[in-house]
Amino acid sequence: MIFISGLVLLAVLAAIVAAAPLWRRGLRLPGMLAAIMVVGTTVGVYLIIGRPDLGISPPRVAEAQTAEDIIAMVDRLAARLEAAPDDPTGWTMLGRAYVLMGRYDEAVRAFGEAMSRIPGEDPDLMASYAEARVMQSPESLPGETGALFERVLVLDPGNQRALWYGGLAAQVRGDNPTAVQRWQALLAQEIPAEFRRVLESRIAGIDPGALDAIVLVEVGIAPELANALPPGTVLFVALRPADETQPGPPLAARRLEFFSLPETVPLMHGDLLRGDLPEGRMRVIARLTASGDASGAAGDIEGHAEWSPADGKTVRVVLDRRRGE
């Protein structure tokens, strides 16, 4: 587990550094590619750690203590496979390690070696190979790489990575109903909570009626503050009674680490913190914070609006002020 944990740490750090600024600037195509990088990595990590049926075990790494140790062990595995290449399981493991390390060219080759050494078509291995190709060349998703995910869905309709990337490919080519259908199928499975929140936000941005949300909060940002978001900024959206005078937990709240402004944030029934919603008007609060602290800090960028269920399912909040100013 030291081996896998180390790779996860390297992957998460690399993905956040590379992708977060694109999400923050709200650029459509780069934001899409950021989704591929960040959430694709999340799915890959989940499948490695959460899927014992994959038959992939890390090498003996009890002595590993640092990232350098982990990289050295990956390199030793690669050298062993070059000397004795007839090992599809080893190539698959090496490919997964390379994806998590951001070495996508090598990951594509490793998965290709594994695929050439097994009989027939293995949908999970094919999804791994296609995922590495997306990471290597994101612009390939709507074309040949997207076709690979379509083939995976024929072989395994519930494949998580194929549903995710297949939805992205459908959205890129303008087939939003297919994107929503695939992501709803993914929501019906057991997936990490942060990935679930990202999926719900993407669905809400395409078809608000596809989610059973309490309210859909359309979060925008004032132009003069749009470039003021430091790396690691977290978006909080919360509901409070409009006449609240005492501090306390919100009625409902959601935290997003990966987002692109403007962002449609659904507050779901699972986000309720104090039972059912009261009658009457409520205050919808959105806040960007670099500290990640739910209670907020000076300098956070905030906005709010009033809303009640009688107003409909959607409310717009503009982040237009700094806390304490």
Instruction: Look up residue 49 and give its amino acid.
Output: I
At residue 109, does pLDDT exceed 50? yes
Per-residue pLDDT band at 259 (split at 50, 70, 90): confident
Residue 260: per-residue pLDDT: 80
Comparing C-alpha atoms, which of 26, 68, 40 is closest to residue 259? 26
**pTM listed for this prediction:** 0.75
CATH placement of domain 2-208: 1.25.40.10
For 208-230, write each residue's pLDDT tens digit.
Answer: 889 989 999 999 999 999 887 77
Q: What is the pLDDT of residues 17-66, one digit of tens each?
A: 333 333 333 334 445 555 554 544 444 444 444 443 443 344 444 444 56
Range of 90-104, 117-131, 231-245 with top mean pLDDT: 117-131
Write the secondary structure of the chain as one string of H (helix), E (strand) and C (coil).
CHHHHHHHHHHHHHHHHHHHHHHHHCCHHHHHHHHHHHHHHHHHHHHHHHCHHHCCCCCCCCCCCCHHHHHHHHHHHHHHHHHCCCCHHHHHHHHHHHHHHCCHHHHHHHHHHHHCCCCCCCHHHHHHHHHHHHHHCHHHCCCHHHHHHHHHHHHCCCCHHHHHHHHHHHHHCCCHHHHHHHHHHHHCCCCCHHHHHHHHHHHHHHCHHHCCEEEEEEEEECHHHCCCCCCCCEEEEEEEECCCCCCCCCCEEEEECCCCCCEEEEEEHHHECCCCCCCCCEEEEEEEECCCCCCCCCCCEEEEEEECHHHCCEEEEEECEECCC
Q: Is 324 exposed, middle or buried (0-12, 13-18, 19+ CB in 10 A)?
A: exposed
Q: Is the pLDDT of residue 125 over 60?
A: yes
Beta pairing partners, 221: 319
Q: How far apart are CA 100 and CA 302, in angstroms?
A: 35
For the chain, domain boundaries: 2-208, 212-322
Task: Say if domain 212-322 classifies as CATH 2.60.40.1120.
Answer: yes
Which CB contacts under 8 angstroms, 24+ apart, belong to 134-138? Answer: 134/36, 134/40, 134/165, 135/36, 135/37, 135/40, 135/99, 135/102, 135/104, 135/107, 136/104, 136/105, 136/107, 136/108, 138/32, 138/33, 138/36, 138/37
